[in-house]
Structure 1
Amino acid sequence: MTTFAPAPTERHLLAPDLVADPYGHLDALRESDPVQWSPLHHAWLVTGYDEVMRCLRDRAVSADRVRPLMDAVPQGAREDAERAFSILSRWMVFNDPPQHRRLRQVFQEAFAARAVARYSAFTEKVTRAVLTRKAAPGHSGDLMADVAKPLPALVFARWLGIPPTDGPSFWYWNARVADLVLGTAQEESEYRASLQALVSLEDYLGALVERRRAEPGDDLISQVLAEGRVGDTVSEQEFVGMLTQMAFAGGETTSNLIANTVLALHTRPDQLAAVRAEPDLAQGAVEETLRLDGPSKMSIRTAAQDLRLGGHTLRAGDRVFLVTAAANRDPARFPDPGRFDVTRGGATHLGFGFGAHFCIGAALARLVAVCAVRTLVCERPGLALADPARLSWQPSLLNRSLTALPVHY
């Protein structure tokens, strides 16, 4: 019989101290029982590596969470929500097999590592340009605003085919959609702005698809159109809806991954020195950040039918929090799991998910993050954290995102 540690006191995961550092509490949850019901969150908290993997593989656990998102919208904003949530229902991340597989296959070739690698030279060029413009040696600034946010935006816009003149509107809409999907919209006015932004983003991308059909370019939309699946295996409406997901996902995760990796290295001088001595270890630094303090803390699922998990019965309709931030520190899978080690190998982390819902944009996120980290470490040797004791984090159940990262370049 498995023996668990005593259960910790029930606490909301958005308590300010847990937003700042959730890991001690998550470790305690996993050690007490890797599957447990939380009355406070009205959800099952799944914190063990094997248990999270089981849920990511089991069709009894559904990724469809459009309805919970809609339920969170204030009553006064519901009249604006119908079209917006119709768009979200076409996002592949909110669909289960076989629908998910059909939608994902449209983008499979464009997101393959060999296709993404074509943007290596462009990413290197843009990284140095951003650092020259925003991170001059001897100056101080916010690495989030100066580098971590604009760099992925520039690479992703080029990859998706967004004309530079459209950039400000495009990224404004993305930020508002993030407020909706990540649950940071609170007031009715914020929900209205987010819902309208999603509609505006779909209108814009629909028009861009028409332009690329008439005038193909060297970009994602043109490539997918040329493959002939739009209008065949997926409708044009489904394609444009999925492009809104690509637009939303393109910058947020990578920005947080860059900032969290820089923070991890600059609070661990031995690991920073290792990457500086061997720049190819920037890849290991990014992977360790994805495991130990990645941009995603959890994903939300729903039990589509009753299932047994870790000695418990999850009932159909129950919410399930797959807490990858805890699973990635499970000592049953990762020796000395709290140690940040840029040379670590072994078990696969779940920073980008696993299986059918493994992040389709992982190769692009890795390309940009590794380039940014390697260049910062090697070409900004004077980079130092301005005030690491006073950092703050965005209050989000899903994301691990700094509000700012003040540095001296």
Structure 2
Amino acid sequence: MSNTAAETLPGFLSPEVAADPDAYYRRLRAEDPVHWDDGYQGYLISKHADVGFAYRNPLFSTQNYEVSLQPVFGRSMLQMDGSEHSRKKALVTPYFRGKGLEKWAPVIARNVATILDRSVASASEHITRGFLPGSTVDLLADFGYYLPVYVITDMLGLPHSDYDRFFNWYNRHVAFLGNLARDPEIDESGRQATGELWAYLGPVVEDRRSNLGDDLISGLITAEIDGERLADAEILTHITQLLNAGSETTGKALASMFAYLLRERALFEEVRDDRSQVIPAISETLRISPPSQMNGRKITQDVEIHGVRLPAGTLVMLLMASANRDEDRFADPDTFNYHRTDLAHEKTFSAAGDTFAFGSGRHFCLGAMLAKSELEMASNVLLDRFPDMRLVDGFEPEWSGLKMRSVHSLKVTL
């Protein structure tokens, strides 16, 4: 680390960085791409190539999740390595990839439309029932936050009357995951939310074992690889993980995408009139403003990056948001441009993607294709129903947050 960088870079958890993290990341990439931060007590890795290297290198483990995730998720696949991770992932992957994804309806049914079609359509209809052309709504608070929670609740085969309970648990989990400063009240609230959620789900899982249906819980109960099935605790963990991962990605990415499109009216009209541009617009949003901005890792053996020796046991923060705006990887990286040629949009929702919105490597987000379906279908519903949507006069979208970041509201006239 240069002396200048050591003296002048603000602390990672400072208000200055929270106010404009992208400016901070530009400095990191230019001045100190492997930067020790005293407040975090670990290294910040900011370059695209280095973040990719870390995701692919098994020495960068997810052991840190014992503190940052396990208290609210339980012990999940995100913390597993080697053969244990491979076995557990094989049990659930069929429900979120390829034919397994296509056959959902209403969750894993084999003879009707996919669950995502029905669930997203049902949720969108439920949420927008009170939306009228010409009215004013907050697209994030009134639609984006609710949609993925409604969809996952529907996929679990749970009553619509419990939407608000799931939304409450989800919000408290989100606060826990973003609590880098470890505020004790936020920490305790997140842990209590998991206790409440699992107390609710436990009897449901027990009942489904005797009364299997066409829902996600039944699918997880019956999933089997080489005679191995998921234990109840593992089922609860997967459900909790999906509730949070899908919700964060979908709701915030959807709002951010419409913010970018509506700030330049021509972009909104192009996507509205040419739906082949919906996926590129989503992909570019996930590059320039990924809802989840960073992932932590713990190093299991000494490793060196850019001449910096990182000893075993060191915590590192992989700054996905910084890597996605790396000048050495993307042209004009701070510009929203879904026509860019240096990003393979069709790969964004796979582990072969050019960006890190869903992580990368063996721990690539299992729910990425679920998020893709929700984002694409929800976008088309909104474009179909409200083709004249525009920002409320005088409203300018603003992004906020550090660990999780998006527009904090999006006021539109439908």
TM-score normalised per structure 2: 0.85
Is the partner of 2:304 in helix, strand or coil? strand
* Structure 2 unpaired stretches of 5+: 103-113, 344-353
Aligned to 1:221: 217
User: Which amino acid is 1:160 matched to?
Assistant: L
Match of 2:147 among 144, 151, 155: 151
The Cα RMSD (Å) is: 2.7
* CA deviation map 1:283-325 (0-9, x unaligned): 1111001101111111011111211112211111211010010
2: CA distance, partners of 1:400 / 1:125: 26
* CA deviation map 1:260-290 (0-9, x unaligned): 1111111233322321221121111110011
Match of 2:396 among 389, 397, 409: 389
Pick closer, same or farther for the CA change 1:190–1:227 going to 2, 3 Å: closer
Instruction: Answer with 61-70 or 227-236: which moved more.
Output: 227-236
Instruction: Answer with 13-22 or 353-362: which moved more.
Output: 13-22
2: CA distance, partners of 1:25 / 1:186: 22
1: CA distance, partners of 2:226 / 2:277: 40
* CA deviation map 1:197-239 (0-9, x unaligned): 1122222222221122111121212122223359825433233
Aligned to 1:352: 358
Does the alignment pair 1:250 with 2:250? no
Instruction: Answer with 141-150 or 124-133: which moved more.
Output: 124-133
Is the partner of 2:129 in helix, strand or coil? helix
Q: CA deviation at 1:149?
A: 1.2
Identity %: 30
Match of 2:332 among 320, 331, 336: 336
Q: Which has the higher contact order (CA 8 A, sep 6+)?
A: 1
1: CA distance, partners of 2:52 / 2:397: 35
2: CA distance, partners of 1:127 / 1:244: 20
Q: CA deviation at 1:186?
A: 6.1
Number of residue-to-residue matches in the alignment = 390
Aligned to 1:30: 29
CA contact (8 A) 1:301 1:320 kept: yes
Q: CA deviation at 1:184?
A: 7.2
User: Which amino acid is 2:355 matched to?
Assistant: H
Aligned to 1:73: none
2: CA distance, partners of 1:365 / 1:253: 7
TM-score normalised per structure 1: 0.86
Aligned to 2:167: 171
CA contact (8 A) 2:48 2:326 kept: yes
Q: CA deviation at 1:136?
A: 1.6
* Structure 1 unpaired stretches of 5+: 71-83
CA contact (8 A) 2:331 2:342 kept: no
CA contact (8 A) 1:90 1:242 kept: no
Aligned to 1:363: 369
Is the partner of 2:407 in helix, strand or coil? coil
Q: CA deviation at 1:30?
A: 0.8
Does the alignment pair 1:125 with 2:121? yes
Match of 1:399 among 395, 399, 404: 404
CA contact (8 A) 2:120 2:147 kept: no
Aligned to 2:351: none
Pick closer, same or farther for the CA change 1:408–1:13 going to 2, 3 Å: farther
Superposition map of 1:8-407 within 5 A: 9-16=8-15, 18-69=17-68, 85=71, 88-117=73-102, 118-123=114-119, 125-126=121-122, 128-130=124-126, 132-183=128-179, 188-229=184-225, 232-347=228-343, 348-386=354-392, 387-389=394-396, 391=398, 393=400, 395=401, 397-407=402-412
